[in-house]
Structure 1
Amino acid sequence: MATAFTNARIFDGDGWHEDRALVVDDGKVVGIVAKNDLSPGVTIVDSEQAIMIPGFIDLQVNGGGGVMLNDDRSVDGIRKICEAHAKFGTTGLLPTLITDTPDITAAAIDAGVKARQARIPGFLGLHLEGPHLSIARKGTHHPRLIRPMEDTDLQRLLAIGNDVGTRMITIAPENVTLQQVEALAQGGFIVSLGHSDATYETAKAYAEAGARLVTHLFNAMSPLENRSPGLVGAGLDLGELSCGIIADGFHVHPASMRTAIRSKRGPGHVFIVTDAMSTIGTNLDGLLLNDRQIYRKNGRLTLADGTLAGADIDMLSSVLFVHRELGIEFEESVRMASLYPAQAIGIGERKGMLLAGYDADFVVLDADLRMKSTWISGQQVYEA
């Protein structure tokens, strides 16, 4: 039976609807209609003057709820990560494996296959961030685990097929060939460039081979310079690339973020990722990654030497940072966390908006933009 959510301001991803109802049936959006046009027998949910927006999609989530995918490579671990981020409006995410051993990578992939079979709410697939990165731009990735992609690595990746859902991989041209990227892209992988000193020209060649994303723009990559645009310049200038960005105020200066958002050449967009660690939704004061201590203090996560080690921010906080601190209109901030990441991984025709036929994934906020509830496929998965 259909359900109608009434008494809310509804943002469908394009525009606002006032004094209308969001109608949901069988996990899908039926439409946004006038209350007088509701069918008899529809179940009415009074949203009490709330704000309804499309659910957030996070393509880089290392952990949450006290769990890191690197440490808990299980269906239950993935479920805990998804549940932790649902409390902050995330209705779809890619659990992300930070550079690790081949055995741990294989275990994470197996967990992803089982998580998809279990239909865990919010699970979209996996993001493998490494191990085929540049040691010079390693960031918090352990240098002894970084290595070139071998033919056996490529064949193992291609063998995954569609069993985990969306397959995203971050690679550096320093350790992956153009031919390997072409094979990955043709095999269904979303290839992202990151942790690299690649030149503009190299990044362009890899985009032509099938790369489509840039991982956490500005961080762990060659910068934009006057005669050397680098990976940052390529990400902004090449329309076929979309760029994730960490919006916590620590990873990227607000002025750089504003400049990137204004200058990004389409059809690709700058979209928000959290790069969140296990601390989200907990009171943990730190965590271990590859046997190294990461410290949590004042919104930052760092190694002992001060190197940023992932982020300590959730999606709603990221959206509000972009809106309030960068001065980006609220509607565009929401699109950066919903529609644009959905488009970046090829699911923009079913997620990221509240239009007829789309998945009924949405967030309910109060008038002050605080969390009230999260809904996935028309089912409530969190209530504040």
Structure 2
Amino acid sequence: MVFNSSPTSSKTVASSVATLLRNGRIFDGTEFVEGKAVLVEDGKISAIIDDGASTQDCQIEDLGGKLLVPGFVDVQVNGGGGMMFNDEQSVDALETIANGHRKFGTTTLLPTFITDSFSQMQAASTAMRHAIGQGLPGVRGVHFEGPYFSMERRGVHAEQFVRSVDEGAFDLFTQTGMGVVLVTLAPEVVPVDFVTRLSSAGIRVCAGHTNATYDQATAGFAAGISGVTHLYNAMPPIMNREPGIIGAAYDNKDIYCGLIVDGHHLHHATARTVIACKGTSRIMLVTDAMATVGSNKSSFNLYGTEIFAKNGRLATKEGKLAGSDLNMMDAVRLTRDELGVDFGEALRMASLYPATYLGLNDQIGKIAAGYDADFALIDEATDQVVRTWIKGVGGNS
């Protein structure tokens, strides 16, 4: 993918010349709109106007009748473009990951650093501060997934790094300059007051890789846990007399849930059940993507183990799932086609709802005056993203 930007895209700034995006169909985050155009100035949407209205001193971009939607928001991205965040903690690595996902419509993501040593977590936080400081396009925060997990539910997270809360963890998670910070942990293995302190400091806390009972999960929610990472995966199944964390998430209307809809992590019928129980406004489509997304790689190395991509499934040679090979445009398509969700609602599950969870829904997730000019342009005949814009700067696939 080639972006219309300077050689160092982290220093790209939107043009001061107004741009009019016209001759397209628009999904504004609420409804599909015909006969309108979007005026962009200084990286923001300045107005939605009639497509035929006269304009002066304005650069015209013809959308060719395609569908303009709010850019997708992915809160769980371990890698992309051939790169894993755990392999290299640098701005260059984060740029590679972001560009790997941008071609599929993701204009905001949280690079996700999975279970590792505390020193590597510190390196990740340093890279993130540099990325945020340089305004790296698409990167608005960081997701620390682990290492404070249930050993029984760690999945492919390295056993040697799963541990109790480190001294200094609170200071690491709450240091300034990292944008939005999300932390996934197992509520039964961390002190309740640690959750409360994080939540009170503005950190988004999710439960995941957990063996929590219903009561432990409920206590965690009361302490400040506001979401569940990849619901159903790496947690006990819901049972008639022990609903566990899944039942607790269904029981609490305010809890957000990430959902991997690739058909490998969840049977589509299970995902439809989630929607029937939970509704859609608290569901965030996530990719849990690894290095293969946005690259020509068919395998990569994780903790010294080779992970293989086959038919859209990522797994070790023994068959254990290891993240996903899913991109966000495919997640939207599968949500519509396999889960039976209205297309507009599927788009919201990939944009407005995760933006709301991150507290960014006054900036992204809608095409409306005052919002950042973050868009994806979809060819509806092929369900492919053909162009994106981040703060008004466009790129082609």
Q: Does 1:27 align with 2:43?
A: yes
Distance 1:2 1:40 in 2: 9
| Contact persistence 1:238–1:265 (CA under 8 A) | no
Which among 67, 84, 98 is matched to residue 83 of structure 2? 67
- CA distance in 1 between counterparts of 2:26 and 2:157 reads 41
Pick aligned residue for 1:142 from 155, 158, 175: 158
Which residue, out of 311, 324, 336, partners 2:324? 311
1:118 maps to: 134
Quote the Cα distance in structure 1 between the aligned partners of 2:170 and 2:392: 38
Q: Which amino acid counterpart does residue 66 of structure 2 have in structure 1? A: A
Q: Deviations over 1:313-363 (max 9, x none)?
A: 111011111111222111111001000111111111111111111111010
CA distance in 2, matches of 1:65, 1:228: 41
* Alignment correspondent of 2:73: 57
Question: C-alpha distance in 1, partners of 2:97/2:230?
Answer: 20
CA 1:120 to 1:156, structure 2 compared with 1: closer, same or farther past 3 Å? Answer: closer
Displacement of 1:188 in angstroms is: 1.8
- In structure 1, what is the Cα distance between the partners aligned to 2:169 and 2:67? 46
Counterpart of 2:362 in structure 1 is: 349
Deviation larger for 164-173 or 278-287: 278-287
Residues 111-158 of structure 1: CA distance to partner in whole angstroms, max 9, x if unpaired?
A: 000001111100011100000011110111011110011443223333
Q: In structure 2, what is the Cα distance between the partners aligned to 1:188 and 1:194?
A: 19
Q: 2:374 aligns with which of 349, 354, 361?
A: 361
Alignment of 1:251-270 (within 5 A): 251-264=265-278, 269-270=282-283
Residue 92 (1) aligns with residue 96 (2): no
Structure 2 residue identity aligned to 1:64: G
DSSP 3-state at the match of 2:307? strand
Moved more, 66-75 or 172-181: 172-181
Q: Secondary structure at the match of 1:220?
A: coil
Q: What's the CA shift for 1:305? A: 2.2
Q: Which residue of 2 aligns with 1:167?
A: 181
Alpha-carbon distance, 1:37 to partner: 3.8
| Cα drift, residue 40 of structure 1 | 2.7
Give 1:297 shift.
1.4
Residue 24 of structure 2 is aligned to residue 4 of structure 1:
no
Runs (5+) with no aligned partner, structure 2: 1-16
Identity %: 42
CA RMSD of aligned residues (A): 1.4
Given that 1:207 and 1:240 are in contact with CA atoms closer than 8 Å, whether structure 2 keeps it comes out as: no
Q: Distance in 1 between matches of 2:261 and 2:192?
A: 31
Aligned equivalent of 1:293: 306
Q: Contact 1:52–1:363 (CA<8 Å) still a contact in 2?
A: yes
3-state DSSP class of the match of 2:187?
Answer: coil
Shift of 1:265: 5.8
- Output the CA distance in 2 between the equivalents of 1:50 and 1:156: 44
Q: What SS does structure 2 have at the residue aligned with 1:373?
A: strand
Matching of residues 187-226 of structure 1 within 5 Å: 187-226=201-240
Which residue of the partner structure matches residue 251 of structure 2?
237
Q: Is the 8 A contact 1:239 1:265 kept in 2?
A: no
| Residue of structure 2 in register with 1:321 after alignment | 334
Distance of 1:131 and 1:75 partners within structure 2 = 23
> Cα offset for 1:36?
4.0
Indicate which of 120, 124, 130 corresponds to 1:108: 124
Contact 2:118-2:166 at 8 Å conserved across structures: no
Question: What CA distance in whole angstroms lies between the structure 2 residues aligned with 1:359 and 1:9?
Answer: 19
1:336 maps onto 2:352 in alignment: no
- d(CA) in 2 for partners of 1:265 and 1:322? 13
Deviations 1:208-243 (A, max 9, x none): 111111000100012222221111112222122100
How many pairs align?
380
Q: 1-side partners of 2:230 and 2:75: how far apart? A: 10
Q: Is this contact kept in 1: 2:254–2:282, CA < 8 A? A: no
Q: Distance in 1 between matches of 2:222 and 2:84?
A: 34
Which whole-Å CA distance do the structure 1 matches of 2:274 and 2:256 have between them? 11
The letter of the residue matching 1:245 is L
State whether residues 107 and 138 of structure 2, in contact with CA within 8 Å, keep that contact through their aligned partners in structure 1: yes
- 1:137-189: CA deviations, max 9, x gaps? 0111011110011443223333x12x110101000023211100001111221
Runs of 4 or more above 6 Å deviation: none
**Distance in structure 2 (CA, Å) of the matches to 1:165 and 1:4:** 30
Shift of 1:38: 4.5
- Once the 2 structures are TM-superposed, how far is the Cα of residue 288 of structure 1 from its aligned partner? 1.0
Secondary structure of the corresponding residue to residue 356 of structure 1: coil
**TM-score, length of structure 1 as denominator length:** 0.96
**TM-score (structure 2 length as normaliser):** 0.93
